[in-house]
A and B are shown apart, each in its own frame.
Chain A
């Protein structure tokens, strides 16, 4: 005697069985028992206990979220700062091209070039969307926060800058140092994930 296959039983469960299977199940106790077993297995699967994550993953998610927000703020701030800086430099060059100002100007340009180069390097190690440990993400977030704060200070400083502003140069050099740390942190992580 021919019996229902698992496909037939599945179709019976879904109400999509063939005429033959629907007739057969009414007369075959063996197949009815198989169908009942199938229902029981599904019910047992549904009642399996919930598995809980062994570790709290929220800190890692939050760290990435904060880093992304910080990066967005920093990008806006950097654009604003760069535009204001360009205007200030133009003013300095026009009104007092003394020796000291020339040196500061050169230092400032050097720091700006280094900063831009590091920004480019950072793009190579942009791991957005990848899994990152909470510790690594926290370090990156901290550095990005500090750069963001520094950019804010730079933007204010540039607005009130006077000719030969040594403090402005120092701030840009500090930014270069932080950017270097950030690139190193991301490069380390990139090597870790095999990029």
Chain B
């Protein structure tokens, strides 16, 4: 999803002054793009809701630190994606991922008539995050690597593996 949101400077100024109505207006302007971003990255809808709330708590607490350098959406998106990636890392520590990118493992058979959206949801959270941040949000591999605390080659290889798996799932769905 491409977001071309522009909010008036005066709204940002009012929000920075603590105006609650202005803060709510910012929330309303960005709640859908933020939720969409983190929901695409995270497996569980309830996690995405929590990250949405955490993101805006940080936005309202730190809006004074936003200096107008770059698009406001870029600033908010960075907060949201960082929090989503933190949740992915936390979940990886807690549990082994149910699905894996390796072919032939349980969970890779997806059945007939799968569409891209469903196939995408079957990727591991890490793969989903890389694909979404790179292909949809336009992050570079360097930016993704920095946010994930991984190498650039990790980001590139995750992207390639994810696309190979998407292609395989879509082919299987089409031929079934």
Q: Which residues of A contact B (CB under 8 A)?
A: 5-7, 9-10, 34, 37-38, 41-42, 44-46, 48, 50-55, 57-58, 60-62, 64-65, 68-69, 129, 131
Contact of B49 among A5, A9, A34, A55 (CB under 8 A): A55
Is the CB–CB distance between A53 and B57 below 8 Å?
A: no
Contact of A10 among B2, B18, B56, B156 (CB under 8 A): B156
Is the CB–CB distance between A45 and B135 below 8 Å?
A: yes
Contact of B116 among A38, A41, A60, A61 (CB under 8 A): A41
Is the CB–CB distance between B160 and A7 below 8 Å?
A: yes
**Main SS of the interface on chain B?**
helix
Contact of B160 among A10, A46, A50, A57 (CB under 8 A): A10
B74 to chain A, nearest CB (A): 17
Q: Show 17 A/B contacts (Cβ-Cβ < 8 Å), sorted by A.
A: A5-B160, A7-B157, A38-B167, A41-B167, A48-B40, A48-B120, A50-B1, A50-B36, A51-B36, A51-B48, A53-B52, A57-B53, A58-B27, A58-B56, A61-B56, A61-B57, A64-B57
Closest residue of chain A to B164, judged by CB? A6
Is the CB–CB distance between B20 and A65 below 8 Å?
A: yes
Closest residue of chain A to B1, judged by CB? A50
- CA A65 – CA B160 in complex, angstroms? 42
Q: Are A54 and B60 also in contact (CB < 8 A) when A62-B20, A131-B54 are? A: no
Q: Does B163 contact A (CB under 8 A)?
A: yes
- CA A90 – CA B48 in complex, angstroms? 56
B98 to chain A, nearest CB (A): 21
Closest residue of chain A to B39, judged by CB? A51
Q: Are A45 and B132 also in contact (CB < 8 A) when A50-B32, A51-B40, A54-B49 are? A: yes
A57 to chain B, nearest CB (A): 5
Contact of B35 among A10, A34, A53, A58 (CB under 8 A): A53
Q: What is the 8 Å Cβ interface bit string for chain B, positions 29-44, against chain A (1 contact, 0 not)?
A: 0011101100110000
**Chain B residues near A129 (CB, 8 Å)?**
54, 57
- CA A52 – CA B157 in complex, angstroms? 30
**Chain A residues near B35 (CB, 8 Å)?**
51-53
**Chain B residues near A55 (CB, 8 Å)?**
49
A104 to chain B, nearest CB (A): 40
Known interface pairs A10-B159, A38-B167, A51-B39; 10 further A-B residue pairs with C-beta atoms within 8 A, sorted by A's residue number: A7-B156, A10-B163, A34-B167, A42-B136, A44-B116, A46-B1, A54-B45, A54-B49, A57-B31, A131-B50
Is the CB–CB distance between A60 and B167 below 8 Å?
A: no
Q: Does B84 contact A (CB under 8 A)?
A: no
Closest residue of chain A to B120, judged by CB? A45
**Chain A residues near B24 (CB, 8 Å)?**
58, 62
**Chain A residues near B131 (CB, 8 Å)?**
45
A24 to chain B, nearest CB (A): 17
A9 to chain B, nearest CB (A): 8
A21 to chain B, nearest CB (A): 13
A193 to chain B, nearest CB (A): 12
Q: Does B80 contact A (CB under 8 A)?
A: no
Is the CB–CB distance between B167 and A61 below 8 Å?
A: no
**Chain A residues near B32 (CB, 8 Å)?**
50, 52-53
Is the CB–CB distance between B161 and A53 below 8 Å?
A: no
Q: Does B117 contact A (CB under 8 A)?
A: yes
